[in-house]
């Protein structure tokens, strides 16, 4: 079935009330029929609801629907994009292990891998997403994950997913792809060899800046890569915390199963049923919105490229952009989502332009239906030195836009008056 059809129907089986809208199951717990039923659920002899920290029928629809869009096997929803990323990494690596990450990562993922995971004994090693060959020298027997973003935030680069997954597969290492900015509508990393995807549902999935949430999706047949793989002995040996369960022997998708039974159980970063319901509403229009975001962003990028005050425009949909070829290969119809950035002369010029816009909101978010403008050097990247800003591709004069769903004519006009104010 086509993605737009799956977005409306996948994962929802109507109960006796036959409600068209997916019901919100606002409950903490579920009654067992009898003691045997309870025991069977705990022993996984029978699958069913126990407690909303582990599963919930509304969240279940969100997970199934998102899995269908991504073309995966199973998913686990979490309280935020960051918790989905933490679960994805911590499910593979433990103290003494290392993970290999792209330099071009979301700020939260960078601090998670360089600082927080370090305190847990996990070392992050970095490569340039445009230089996959750098990965080979970083790999050793303790490497558990190669982690990158399909369309990077905030640097707006497009990963050569096939080149990266080929290196990982040669060494039997898992690849985790953050597909937040592209969404499954524009990019489906599993088709290019990725093993696990993670998303912040807080962005395009909700679409209107309504709720924080995340999701981790596992590809079909991942069990074959984990089974008897010496890198992942914890998937092949009895889990003492779950009465000796061997995840690769259960017949269930092992990555999400372990993330649920072990990480979600013990760390508790669960999404609320109400937020899952909001994400389901968002998914219904995701493909319509992504096309419109992409169309608007391309027109805005073309306008900026033609303006004399603008030194450089970063948008992978522009033929002049270094990521154009990858975008054409990996993104549906070459559509590149709503994120773009452009560079003006310096810090002062950039802040003047940001303050002069009327239609754009000064917000550190992306993926809202309302257009957003940010000046990274004075906000998200404030603590970095001039040299560090240049190294991570965020010069002082850089302005980032998350292009919304307003009329593009109005968006261009407002930016034009701000540039010329
Ligand atoms: C926002 C974002 C995250 C973090 O998601 P939260 O839902 O805010 O925790 C992770 N990755 C990318 C690419 C993001 O844009």
Residue nearest to atom 6 of ligand 1 (CA): 81
Residue 398 three-state SS: strand
Q: How far apart are CA 69 and CA 376, in angstroms?
A: 32
Sheet strands side by side (includes 339-343):
312-314, 339-343, 398-402, 372-374, 361-362
The tens-digit pLDDT sequence of the chain (421 residues) is 999 999 999 999 998 999 999 999 999 999 999 999 999 999 889 999 999 999 999 999 999 999 999 999 999 999 999 999 999 999 999 999 999 999 999 989 999 999 999 999 999 999 999 999 999 999 999 999 999 999 999 889 999 999 999 999 999 999 999 999 999 999 999 999 999 999 999 999 999 999 999 999 999 999 999 999 999 999 999 999 998 999 999 999 999 999 999 999 999 999 999 999 999 999 999 999 999 999 999 999 999 999 999 999 999 999 999 999 999 999 999 999 999 999 999 999 999 999 999 999 999 899 999 999 999 999 888 888 888 888 777 899 999 999 999 999 999 999 999 999 9
CATH architecture type of domain 288-419: Alpha-Beta Complex (3.90)
Q: Which atom number of ligand 1 is nearest to the Cα of residue 213?
A: 7
Q: Are 187 and 160 in contact (CB under 8 A)?
A: no
Pocket of ligand 1 (CB under 6 A): 80-82, 106, 108-109, 149, 153, 178, 180-181, 200, 202-203, 212, 214, 366
Angle made by CA atoms 330, 12, 76, in degrees to the nearest 5 = 55
Q: What confidence score (pLDDT) does residue 331 get?
A: 98
Q: What confidence score (pLDDT) does residue 294 get?
A: 98
**CA 106 to ligand 1 centroid distance, Å:** 7
CB proximity list for 20: less than 8 A, separation 6 or greater: none
**CA 245 to ligand 1 centroid distance, Å:** 32
**CA 212 to ligand 1 centroid distance, Å:** 9
Q: What confidence score (pLDDT) does residue 41 get?
A: 93
Best of 149, 202, 204, 402 to mutate for ligand 1, by most ligand atoms within 8 A of CB?
202
User: Which of 58, 71, 286, 64 has its CA nearest to residue 177?
Assistant: 71
Q: What confidence score (pLDDT) does residue 184 get?
A: 98
**CA 371 to ligand 1 centroid distance, Å:** 17
User: How is domain 3-281 classified at the CATH fold level?
Assistant: 3.40.640
Best of 200, 213, 380 to mutate for ligand 1, by most ligand atoms within 8 A of CB?
200
Q: What confidence score (pLDDT) does residue 262 get?
A: 95
Q: Which atom number of ligand 1 is nearest to the Cα of residue 214?
A: 7
DSSP characters for 291-349? HHHHHHHHHHHHHHHT-TT-SEEE-TTSTTSTTHHHHHHHSGGG---SEEEEE-SSHHH
**CA 147 to ligand 1 centroid distance, Å:** 14
Q: Which atom number of ligand 1 is nearest to the Cα of residue 366?
A: 15
Is residue 252 exposed (0-12), middle (13-18) or buried (19+ Cβ within 10 Å)?
Answer: middle
Residue nearest to atom 5 of ligand 1 (CA): 81
> What are the sequence ranges of the domains in the chain?
3-281, 288-419
Q: How far apart are CA 272 and CA 284, in angstroms?
A: 19
**CA 82 to ligand 1 centroid distance, Å:** 6
Q: What confidence score (pLDDT) does residue 312 get?
A: 96
Q: What share of the chain is helix, strand, coil (3-state, %, to 5)?
A: 45, 15, 45
**CA 201 to ligand 1 centroid distance, Å:** 8
Q: What confidence score (pLDDT) does residue 30 get?
A: 97
């Amino acid at each position: 079935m086509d993605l737009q059809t799956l977005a409306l129907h996948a994962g929802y089986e109507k109960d006796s009330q036959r409600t068209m809208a997916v019901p919100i199951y606002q409950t903490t717990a579920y009654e067992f029929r009898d003691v045997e039923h309870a025991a069977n659920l705990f022993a996984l002899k029978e699958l069913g609801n126990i407690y909303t920290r582990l599963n919930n029928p509304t969240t279940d629809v969100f997970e199934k629907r998102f899995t269908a869009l991504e073309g995966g096997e199973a998913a686990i929803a979490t309280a935020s994009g960051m918790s989905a990323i933490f679960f994805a990494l911590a499910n593979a690596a433990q103290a003494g292990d290392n993970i290999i990450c792209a330099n071009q990562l979301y700020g939260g993922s960078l601090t998670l891998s360089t600082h927080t995971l370090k305190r847990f004994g996990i070392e992050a090693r970095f490569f340039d997403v445009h230089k996959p060959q750098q990965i080979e020298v970083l790999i050793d027997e303790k490497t558990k994950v190669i982690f990158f973003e399909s369309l990077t935030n905030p640097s707006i680069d497009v990963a050569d997913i096939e080149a990266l997954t080929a290196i990982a597969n040669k060494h039997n290492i898992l690849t985790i792809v953050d597909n937040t900015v592209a969404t499954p509508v524009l990019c489906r990393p599993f088709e290019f060899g990725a093993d696990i995807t993670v998303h912040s549902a807080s962005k395009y999935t909700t679409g209107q800046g309504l709720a924080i949430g995340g999701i981790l999706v596992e590809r079909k047949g991942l069990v074959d890569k984990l089974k008897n793989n010496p890198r992942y002995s914890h998937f092949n040996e009895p889990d003492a915390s779950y009465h000796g369960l061997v995840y690769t022997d259960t017949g269930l998708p092992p990555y999400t199963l372990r993330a649920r039974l072990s990480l979600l159980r013990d760390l508790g970063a669960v999404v609320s049923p109400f937020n899952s319901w909001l994400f389901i509403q968002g998914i219904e229009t995701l493909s319509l919105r992504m096309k419109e975001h992409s169309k608007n962003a391309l027109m805005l990028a073309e306008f900026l490229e033609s303006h004399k005050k603008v030194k450089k425009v970063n948008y992978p949909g522009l033929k002049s952009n270094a990521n154009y070829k990858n975008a054409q290969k990996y993104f549906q119809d070459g559509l590149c989502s709503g994120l773009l950035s452009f560079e003006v002369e310096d810090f002062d010029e950039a802040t003047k332009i940001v303050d002069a816009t009327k239609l754009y909101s000064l917000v550190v978010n992306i993926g809202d239906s309302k257009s957003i403008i940010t000046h990274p050097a004075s906000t998200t990247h404030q603590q970095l030195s001039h040299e560090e800003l240049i190294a991570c591709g965020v010069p002082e004069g850089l302005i980032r836009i998350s292009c919304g769903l307003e009329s593009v004519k109005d968006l261009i006009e407002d930016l034009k008056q701000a540039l010329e104010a």
